[in-house]
Structure 1
Amino acid sequence: MRQEKKILLGLAAAIAALTGVAVVRWLGGAPLGVDSAVYRAGALAVLRGQPLYEPLLALDPKSALELPFTYPPSAALLFLPLAVLPGHFAWLLLAVGSVLALWSVTRRFACERPLLTLCLLPVLEPVWRMISLGQINGVLMAMVVLDALPVRNRRSAGVLIGLAAAVKLTPLIFVPYLFLTGRRAEAWRALATFLGASAAGALILPGDSIRYWTSAMLDNRNAGTVDWVLDQSLHGMFARLGATSLGWYAAFAALCLLAGALLVREFHRRGDPRAALLVTAGCGLLVSPLSWTHHWIWAVPLIGLLSGRRAALMCAGAVFSGTALAVVPEGGHRELSWNPVETVFGNAYVLSALAVGAVLTVRMLVRGRLARPARRVQ
């Protein structure tokens, strides 16, 4: 009871601090929340009948540097509540939602020492970067976790994953997870929700929908930043290594997906759905064409899962503190001239995920081989 009280006080203090930041920045006229400003500008474009995939006219250049709207039209419809708020309070809404979402996820993963896990979260680079940008990744992660690890059976299971995918396409990776774990009805429900939301976007915003699904979704505007250190994906790592051909990326992505599918089935067979879900999330981050460091917010449930293993917890905390990424030269394509040590540090998230995945896969294969009954000698 005392621990729960401390946790609630900590959450209240965090929300109060975020509110103070928003109010002070609002009174001072200083911009706040790069990505939340883009979400709000997209919603305002819908209300004003302006194109989504042209320069956003409602975007304040001081706060978001003319960033494009890179989400499906259905996402702009879901962002409409942000349009009625001043930009600073749109950021505050997402920041508070992220804090509550992170606690919701932590409760399901940190069976041991949840208070210690909660105290570690502000140290994680994906957490503070997500909140400072006003990103929605934490809320989307909580939606996936609530669907994938329900406290009780729900007839609507799968809907939240479908809605998350309607905001960002990357949560679609959890549909195969549902199929692999035998939850076919939930998988079909997630797909139906995603397709329904996309259809609603097409009906309400037909021009933007045609533009998104035929060209904007594949727009190469981020190609110049693929080698930036903050893109912690396989694609980004190979770009920093100078491998401009997509062959290496495609081959490693296919291998990761295959190993990930085997591990998901194995963890499901062993009755460990949390590990199976984290494997799926890790695969999605690795194979995505772009995985900015704030997309690695799945470090939060990982920290929770490891809360009872001190050595593993320390290692994960060290990796996702972002210290390794902060000490390497970055920006202006300086990543292309890294030495071997800088290459290891600058790809810390990717290499750590690959190393853990390789160890888990080898252990799974060895266990499977040892579990086979020996053939009788005739």
Structure 2
Amino acid sequence: MIDTARRPPPAAFRTTAIASGAVACALVVAALVWWARGWPLGIDSAVYRSGALAVLNGEPLYERLTATPDWSPDLPFAYPPSAALVFLPLAALPTQLAWGVLAAATALGLGAVARVVHPGAGWALPLLLVLEPVWRTIGLGQVNVVLMALVLVDLVALRGSRFSGVLVGLAAAIKLTPLVFVLHLLVTRRGADALRALGAFALAGCAGFALLPGDAVRYWSSTVFGANSALSNAWSGNQSLNGLVRRFAGDSFVLVLLVLAGVVGAVFLARALDDRGDGVGAVLVTAFCGLLVSPISWTHHWVWVFPLCLVVLGRVRRPWSAVVGIVALFSGWTFAAVPRGDGRELAWTPLESLVGNAYVLGAVVGGAVVVHAVRARRRASRAGLRV
């Protein structure tokens, strides 16, 4: 177990900073090369940049984005108006350099996560880039790691601070999924922090209404409910309970039962771990529960396997076998091994279903193992008290 009461040596922090900084510099160099060569780079960062340009040009944010590059899919802007305001600096950059900014921020975010979770394992940061959610987040120019870093810094490093909760609210103002951590704050008896998170989220939302009133009304009245066909998406890239059930049986009441079971189990685990002083473990339980119960959890949303690997490195006696297992499961090979797209997921064989739902099934099995371990420890503790 990591001794959280003892501050890690300065060398551990330097190693983490050097590793994340080196990766960030390499990604910036890659962005400069791609820009100089005129090569396409960054599908999602191109959407962020196009949304920012739509705001500056007075164009509708939730219609076709006219600044989308010719090489990029014609994707919509699916985030709150407050996110478009955050992305405004990207409008001043070429598309490839906008990707470079997001990619560098991702590398620095990984360093921040390592510093919070296990600074002594900062050397492993470049090795863990093989995790599919991480390399896909970097390749797409996504913000997943940045939001994860904001959440972990807020819930772990700033715990007890009068600012705790603010970063969670700001993360949710960029992408709604971090709102699950408001519930985490309530479950772990941090009501004041939850109120600050909701306050920061509401203030960011008010900024969106004040500066982009038409877009804000459209987003909160319609766009938010239909993004990515969330309620019916059976594509293999949707690694949530909803996606699994859609692939197995289409619409099913079983989904409701699975979601309820997942939420109840996560509440039990998160509170139990938090009561033991394991704040990081409690946050990870909430994060993986959020991935499972969300209608849409694209594979790149599963960046939480990165801090999971760091936890394993710090808490398991023979960690490498466990880390290799996690990397093997989340390296992306499973999606290349099964038929995908055009509804072919609905005809998967049992073996293909096992492989194609690997993220969901892995999280469920991992959660069951943690539940068993927590209950075993409780029984051992009670037996010790009776003796």
Hey, what's the Cα distance between the residues in 2 that align with 1:223 and 1:258? 23
The equivalent residue for 1:118 is: 125
The alpha-carbon distance between structure 1 residues 111 and 220, as it changes in their structure 2 partners (threshold 3 A), is: closer
Mapping 1:67-106, distance limit 5 Å? 67-106=75-114
Asked if 1:55 corresponds to 2:61, the answer is: no
1:59, distance to aligned residue in structure 2 (A): 1.2
Hey, what's the Cα distance between the residues in 2 that align with 1:135 and 1:129? 8
1:163, distance to aligned residue in structure 2 (A): 0.3
The equivalent residue for 1:41 is: 50
Hey, what's the Cα distance between the residues in 2 that align with 1:53 and 1:83? 17
SS at match of 1:289: coil
Which of 126, 133, 143 is residue 136 of structure 1 equivalent to? Answer: 143
Using the size of structure 2 for normalisation, the TM-score is 0.90
Hey, what's the Cα distance between the residues in 1 that align with 2:16 and 2:230? 42
Asked if 1:13 corresponds to 2:22, the answer is: yes
Asked if 1:351 corresponds to 2:351, the answer is: no
Q: Give a deviation string over 1:76-100, Cα, whole Å, max 9, x none.
A: 1111111111111111001000000
1:358, distance to aligned residue in structure 2 (A): 2.0
Asked if 1:324 corresponds to 2:334, the answer is: yes
**Letter in structure 2 aligned against 1:154:** S
Mapping 1:235-314, distance limit 5 Å? 235-241=242-248, 243-308=249-314, 309=316, 310=319, 311-314=321-324
Given that 1:33 and 1:134 are in contact with CA atoms closer than 8 Å, whether structure 2 keeps it comes out as yes
The equivalent residue for 2:32 is: 23
Given that 2:238 and 2:296 are in contact with CA atoms closer than 8 Å, whether structure 1 keeps it comes out as yes
Say how many residue pairs are matched.
372
**Letter in structure 1 aligned against 2:204:** A
Q: Give a deviation string over 1:15-36, Cα, whole Å, max 9, x none.
A: 3321222122112222210000
Hey, what's the Cα distance between the residues in 1 that align with 2:119 and 2:276? 18
Given that 1:111 and 1:305 are in contact with CA atoms closer than 8 Å, whether structure 2 keeps it comes out as no
Q: Structure 1 residues 229-238 or 150-159, which shifts more?
A: 150-159
Given that 1:114 and 1:307 are in contact with CA atoms closer than 8 Å, whether structure 2 keeps it comes out as no
Identity of aligned residues (%): 48
The alpha-carbon distance between structure 1 residues 281 and 6, as it changes in their structure 2 partners (threshold 3 A), is: closer
Given that 2:151 and 2:167 are in contact with CA atoms closer than 8 Å, whether structure 1 keeps it comes out as yes
Asked if 1:196 corresponds to 2:206, the answer is: no
The equivalent residue for 1:172 is: 179
Q: Structure 1 residues 135-144 or 300-309, which shifts more?
A: 300-309
Which of 198, 211, 217 is residue 218 of structure 2 equivalent to? Answer: 211
Hey, what's the Cα distance between the residues in 2 that align with 1:41 and 1:67? 10
The alpha-carbon distance between structure 1 residues 55 and 328, as it changes in their structure 2 partners (threshold 3 A), is: same
Q: Structure 1 residues 284-293 or 4-13, which shifts more?
A: 4-13
Given that 2:170 and 2:201 are in contact with CA atoms closer than 8 Å, whether structure 1 keeps it comes out as yes
Q: Structure 1 residues 147-156 or 207-216, which shifts more?
A: 147-156
The alpha-carbon distance between structure 1 residues 169 and 185, as it changes in their structure 2 partners (threshold 3 A), is: same
**Letter in structure 2 aligned against 1:44:** L
1:149, distance to aligned residue in structure 2 (A): 0.7
The alpha-carbon distance between structure 1 residues 372 and 206, as it changes in their structure 2 partners (threshold 3 A), is: same
SS at match of 1:307: helix
**Letter in structure 1 aligned against 2:253:** G
Hey, what's the Cα distance between the residues in 2 that align with 1:361 and 1:109? 21
RMSD: 2.3
**Letter in structure 2 aligned against 1:279:** V
**Letter in structure 2 aligned against 1:333:** G
The equivalent residue for 1:162 is: 169
Hey, what's the Cα distance between the residues in 1 that align with 2:113 and 2:158? 12
Q: Structure 1 residues 330-339 or 45-54, which shifts more?
A: 330-339
SS at match of 2:126: helix
1:152, distance to aligned residue in structure 2 (A): 6.9
The alpha-carbon distance between structure 1 residues 224 and 33, as it changes in their structure 2 partners (threshold 3 A), is: farther
SS at match of 1:196: helix
Hey, what's the Cα distance between the residues in 2 that align with 1:225 and 1:323? 25
Q: Structure 1 residues 17-26 or 274-283, which shifts more?
A: 17-26
1:187, distance to aligned residue in structure 2 (A): 0.8
**Letter in structure 2 aligned against 1:267:** L
Q: Give a deviation string over 1:130-162, Cα, whole Å, max 9, x none.
A: 000000011000000110011674321111100
Given that 1:53 and 1:208 are in contact with CA atoms closer than 8 Å, whether structure 2 keeps it comes out as yes
The alpha-carbon distance between structure 1 residues 183 and 83, as it changes in their structure 2 partners (threshold 3 A), is: same
The alpha-carbon distance between structure 1 residues 19 and 183, as it changes in their structure 2 partners (threshold 3 A), is: same
1:231, distance to aligned residue in structure 2 (A): 1.2
SS at match of 1:215: helix
The equivalent residue for 2:190 is: 183
Hey, what's the Cα distance between the residues in 1 that align with 2:20 and 2:208? 35
The alpha-carbon distance between structure 1 residues 307 and 43, as it changes in their structure 2 partners (threshold 3 A), is: same
Hey, what's the Cα distance between the residues in 2 that align with 1:10 and 1:370? 40
Given that 1:112 and 1:307 are in contact with CA atoms closer than 8 Å, whether structure 2 keeps it comes out as no
1:220, distance to aligned residue in structure 2 (A): 5.4
